[in-house]
Structure 1
Amino acid sequence: MGLKLDLNLIKSTGRIALLTGLGQVVFTSAAGLLIGLALGFSGVQSLYIAVALTFSSTIIIVKLLTDKKEIDSLHGQIAIGFLIVQDLVVILIMIMLSAVGKSDDSSLLKDFAVTSLKGAVLAAAIYLLMKWVIPGLTHFQARSQELLSLFSIAWAILLASLSELMGFSSEVGAFLAGVSLASTPFREAISSRLVSLRDFLLLFFFINLGSTLDLSQLGALVPAALIFSFFVLIGNPLIVLIIMGVMGYTKRTSFLAGLTVAQISEFSLIFAGIGYQVGHISAEIVGLITLVGLITIGLSTYMILYSHVLYKWLAPVLQVFERQTPYGEKSIAANALHAYKAIVIGLGRFGSAIYDNLNTQGIPALGVDFDPKVVKNLRKQGRHIEYGDLEDPDIFERLPYQHVDFIINTVPDDDLASLMIKNLRSQGYKGYILVTAKNLKSAARLSAYDTDDVLLPFTMAAEGINLRLEKLVTQPRRRSVTGNLHLSG
């Protein structure tokens, strides 16, 4: 889990991630506590249940957003940002529990202070290692993938052992080991090499959970589990919708980000297990939280997979969560209008090359990309860039498309491209529309729509190389003794 938590993501999403993460934790905890008390649970039990409901699964969300290619979108980055904030909060809570569970009332305050000091020392030491030691060490280890993998495992075991020696749980140390490696350039390489080991060990995690889940004792708790699950599935997204709406974000961004908190986390189950170990809650409460986890993780996965369909259904109702003039995304989409002649959507290598060529040839172009970091970096270079996501049906309402001669989509997605063509033509756009295909089959499909041309990047690159070779072979050339042609220039 720690390997997925690059702390730099909090910097990129900044204030919205911090406020949404902390706000959701506070409001969900308060509401969950009241629901627990209303259902007849004791104060301590209700508190544990409420806290467990506040944390969402970073691993599941990262996996789903990556599969949907939305990890770099605005709502994806905001979601990952506040999920990191949540995970940091639960780690702090687990650190405190490690001390509280071993204390009696007379020494509670003393142990709490000692634990806080130990936690601060551990965090400071890891921060210094992240800043001065780990980058160089991982760079050296990366010369061998096997060595990098072994180092990562050894580092996790070392910090887990150190964490236990300091009085914390081993999960805290292992998590911090992952976080310390997540900010290095080799995070993905480490994660990909350890994925089989992770999945193998994950089996035992769930086997252990299943072995502690006594269904015969949960019969009376099923109605409570359903109520808590309903709150997590509906209430958590509503809380995020309200917070982001107040902060000026559009209903679409708020809704898509809010769906990512519609389940509880693996940390919620670990948190409940620690509470059981220190004697604060019974096995039945752990089973209740586990049951809520099974329900919410299962259902929320499909809610996220079909998030855009859900948005289309609920868009009219969601208007109440959006300010009359949303300003939260103005910092991303607030360029002054220019006399643009073309709009280029998608600023990867292919799209950026087209954008630059148009402007070089005296055709002023407006660039559009869905990655806030790309938008920010390109603006720093003096380019005219707007934030926009093709999956947003209202994208062209914020773009001066009626006044441009060309709209060029470089995102190789047939469904998005065909939807864009239909939307533009239905709104009366008379200019040229160019879309990008992945292959000849996609090109044939897109040609059936009202588009003026279909771009094939690899074919165009090959044609460019052929022209370059033709130019080179017409120039004087040298042949080696073996007869091989040497091309220069």
Structure 2
Amino acid sequence: MMELVWVGTAYLVGLISSRLSFPPLVGYLAAGYILHAFGVESAQTLTHLADIGIELLLFTVGLKIKLRSLLRQEVLSVGGWHLFVVTGVAGIVFLLQGEQTAGGLILGASLAFSSTVLAIKVLDDNGELSTLHGRDVLSILILQDVVAIVLLAFADGRQPSYWAFALLLLPMLRPLAHRLLTISQADELKLLLGVSLALAGGLSAQNVGVSPDLGALLMGVMLAAHPQIDDLSDKLWSLKEVFLVAFFLQIGLTGLPNYDQVLHALGLLGMLPLQGILFFGLFLMAGLRARTAFISSLALMTYSEFALITTGAIVKANLLSPEWNSTIALAVAGSLAVAAPLNRYSHELFSWCEPFLIRFEKKSWHPDRLPESIGVAEWLVVGMGRTGQAAYLALHQREKRVVGLDADPTVLESLLAEGRRVIYGDAEDPELWSGLPLERVKGILLTLPEFDARCSAVRQLRKRGYKGQIGTICFDPEEQQQLGQLGADFMIQPLVEAGNQLARHILGDKFEF
């Protein structure tokens, strides 16, 4: 019965939160407070489910850890300096207030962490996960997560046994773990393997006196290099989210915040703009353009779910008073509620602030810099996925002067190695279209998968006065109508065209591209 009450209340309040354009996480915390107000208490079952959620979270973090991505200049300089500054300021504040400095330093570091869940969702919804700034944000989040694990191990207060060093031997089991994942062809088997390894890592670490979260992370790192790791990570993502609902409910069930806790939480929310400004300045110092720095800073301008986890560990170790649990819970929920709408309109917000913000850009070269020339190209293909590459090859085979454009550095690197003429550029960036010399260009093909990105590109091209042809893809009549109104000359529905070509082939019709 209690399980139904927990899950049902979390769903209903989470649904209301989502309909109000807030992250469901805000609703889960509110659901915990509501249940507590009605006299519902936490239970061992809920605590156990919450622990599983945290272990799955750390396991999925481990799956994404790649040393090469963490050692890039932007990641180390921006992520490292931000952690150092916020932690140092927090330590000084706690020292002046007479609180325990060690607990304040750990809490300060945890407040420097950004919400992985919200940032990834925002970037994914905007189709920016694979862009240059999307990769920078993701790498900084992973760096923060790694630091969080170290803090959890320190704050846990346990005395590890000598057997704890055996955890360092986990990488030796990598061939076996990789083999198990390879032979697990069925989706449910991959999911079960991931859960089993996460729980096994947590149990192993716990038995040697180390935080189970660290064991789950090491298990994830052990699998990180497997070619199917993205598939496994995607499958675990939703399951991990379900278990983490128990963690957020548990926070709310500990009790309603008092007046002082609410004031402290509001004070922490008031500090968020300063964190955003710090991120923006550090990104600019790393050489990124103002637009990229602004969008990346907004994505990182939140408090992390890890702050809740580390605060719980600090309180258990008696490094801070229990009241901080409710304060940090409110601050995290409030930061997500504020950040969600801001990130939804990040591009529009930058357009308003652009005249002021671009004054702070450095003039040094960086891969984020916009292209200034496309040579003698007469055709431009925007979005070098499978559809874009097919269009590029079709034009190239007809000896047309064609250039491809994409915002994914990995895609560009691969295509350049194959001898393709491609350049970096974000189609949603107005500066791209205002700066590119398009006088020679007869036609532009937009093969971007995101509808908003295609609309933005068509709008910007016509706004700057481009008179050539614009062709694009669409997936339903509504998209076709809107793209046509914005100025696209022709639209093709890929699935409809595939059906037409199949019919022509089976009937033996002869046709040419």
TM-score, normalised via structure 1 length:
0.83
Q: Which amino acid aligns with 2:384?
A: L
Give the C-alpha shift of residue 58 in structure 1: 1.5
Q: 1:12 to 1:223 in 2, by over 3 A?
A: closer
1:399-414 alignment, distance < 5 Å: 399-414=436-451
User: Structure 1: any 5+ residue segments left out of the alignment?
Assistant: 104-110, 475-489
Correspondence for 1:288: 327
Structure 2 residue 88 is the aligned partner of structure 1 residue 48: no
Correspondence for 2:487: 450
Task: Select the residue among 306, 313, 328 that pairs with 2:366.
Answer: 328
1:351-370 alignment, distance < 5 Å: 351-370=388-407
Correspondence for 2:267: 227
Larger RCO (alpha carbons 8 Å, 6+ apart): 2
Give the root-mean-square deviation of aligned CA atoms.
2.9
CA distance in 2, matches of 1:466, 1:381: 34
Give the C-alpha shift of residue 192 in structure 1: 5.1
CA distance in 1, matches of 2:315, 2:452: 49
Q: 1:41 to 1:223 in 2, by over 3 A?
A: farther
Give the C-alpha shift of residue 36 in structure 1: 4.2
Correspondence for 1:257: 296
Correspondence for 1:342: 379
Contact 1:344 / 1:351 at 8 angstroms: preserved in 2? yes
Structure 2 residue 218 is the aligned partner of structure 1 residue 176: yes
Structure 2 residue 182 is the aligned partner of structure 1 residue 139: yes
Q: 1:211 to 1:196 in 2, by over 3 A?
A: same
Contact 2:276 / 2:301 at 8 angstroms: preserved in 1? yes
Tell me which moved more, 423-432 or 1-10: 1-10
CA distance in 2, matches of 1:21, 1:308: 23
Correspondence for 1:78: 136
CA distance in 1, matches of 2:439, 2:181: 51
Structure 2 residue 224 is the aligned partner of structure 1 residue 157: no
CA distance in 2, matches of 1:398, 1:13: 32
CA distance in 1, matches of 2:374, 2:356: 31
Q: 1:125 to 1:286 in 2, by over 3 A?
A: same
Structure 2 residue 343 is the aligned partner of structure 1 residue 304: yes
Note the alpha carbon deviations across 1:8-30, whole angstroms, 9 max, x for none.
48539833223222122112212
Give the C-alpha shift of residue 249 in structure 1: 0.6
Give the C-alpha shift of residue 287 in structure 1: 2.7
Q: Which amino acid aligns with 1:167?
A: G
Structure 2 residue 123 is the aligned partner of structure 1 residue 65: yes
Contact 2:275 / 2:301 at 8 angstroms: preserved in 1? yes
Note the alpha carbon deviations across 1:215-256, whole angstroms, 9 max, x for none.
23xx2243332222221x212222221111011111111111
Note the alpha carbon deviations across 1:68-120, whole angstroms, 9 max, x for none.
3221122211100110011111112222334xx357xxxxxxx8xx88x946x
Task: Select the residue among 391, 395, 402 that pairs with 2:428.
Answer: 391
Q: Which amino acid aligns with 2:266?
A: L
Contact 2:122 / 2:299 at 8 angstroms: preserved in 1? no
Structure 2 residue 478 is the aligned partner of structure 1 residue 429: no
Q: Which amino acid aligns with 2:358?
A: Q
What is the number of equivalent residue pairs in this alignment? 453
Correspondence for 1:3: 60
CA distance in 2, matches of 1:8, 1:297: 27
Q: Which amino acid aligns with 2:80?
A: L
CA distance in 2, matches of 1:445, 1:272: 48
Contact 1:159 / 1:174 at 8 angstroms: preserved in 2? yes
Q: 1:289 to 1:419 in 2, by over 3 A?
A: closer
CA distance in 1, matches of 2:101, 2:155: 16
Give the C-alpha shift of residue 150 in structure 1: 2.5
Contact 2:384 / 2:404 at 8 angstroms: preserved in 1? yes
Give the C-alpha shift of residue 365 in structure 1: 0.9
Tell me which moved more, 59-68 or 347-356: 59-68
TM-score, normalised via structure 2 length:
0.80
